[in-house]
Chain A
């Protein structure tokens, strides 16, 4: 990664998102020591460490969840299976495993809007959304979304009707949540492939809404 790579402001007053060169080289040393230990103790091969990184960089991400949502928008029977048993319906599309062993999908309606958090750590449905963004793991979101969800959603540019109840799902156990956003009216009748492009990561966390076109 180039050293002039631009990053946004720190996520909170106590924390720089990246370390300076000296700190980074210390961290690299500590990680190298652990890798060497794991390899010398016969726990893991170097290739399998690389494979783990490759999977999470390339194969898992919100594009998976978007396919689940688009299918639910176009297939009522799938949608009903999805809301009944999220893990198994998501598995039909080939998405499963670590941090998605117990999936619950929660549907947004005109009455209720759902949003997901993990106040205690950073639990997130990896098979459908990949690894979480920094803001999801950092203190400001985790602390405030349960207390003032409406204000927090407004900071994400999401303004909900006053009479729509917000339900905040705190992932305190091994249940992992994905929001099924409401299909934009303008997109009714569009193909599943086209709909995939409307489903954003944030709409499946619940801090955003799908694109309308």
Chain B
């Protein structure tokens, strides 16, 4: 694997192989000494043009547990309007000898531009670009589902027939996009639930069913309900009347949660707006995977960095 830019590029075999490596990494996390020497002498740069402490520390922990040197480069703000361009930043990192760049950027496609421009030789991991993709989030979500469903027998398994309902701001969500492509690849059946204003205008090509009625989607008895965060700025954009109406219509509130079978997983990529898209009772329940998702995030990111940066660059592992 040369770069990890999108879950769309991953074949079923690639995806399962990555999840299996993540299982190995998770096993390491259960040891007293959590560190592997694999990436000793390699340099990983966390290049964050957008604040995200959670994602950054997850990647930082992953790189450090593989013994890589980690440089955190926070470059918040639009690259052109606030001085240095993406090109100059990339060339600076190249000159410093970065082997891997983990990039979070507010512009969709920026990781793709970085990976294909020729400005830098490093392997690029997309840690979230605009409203496009967030592939490691989708991989950790799939990893979490697989572990809950198959436990110790997870290795080699896909998600065939698993029914996943994703609820919230699909239009602006990079998590939703990455999940749709990856879940399709792994054989899951995806239903997207949102107010019509928060669904892209044409999703006829998406391997997912669109549903506006959350209760109907939940009544079908899904295996997984994934709630997405509603950003504060959407309240101003006339996407829905107000947060009360949103919570009432598209929130996983106590009543809706109580009606779910105990086997249904409740997922959220975090950070959560408790009381808006998800009730505290659902978030803190045994069915909630929120904390597992965080722990699994480190394992999955270790796997991604390992596959990108160990051995000869550009070689297929």
Asked if A and B are interacting partners, one says no
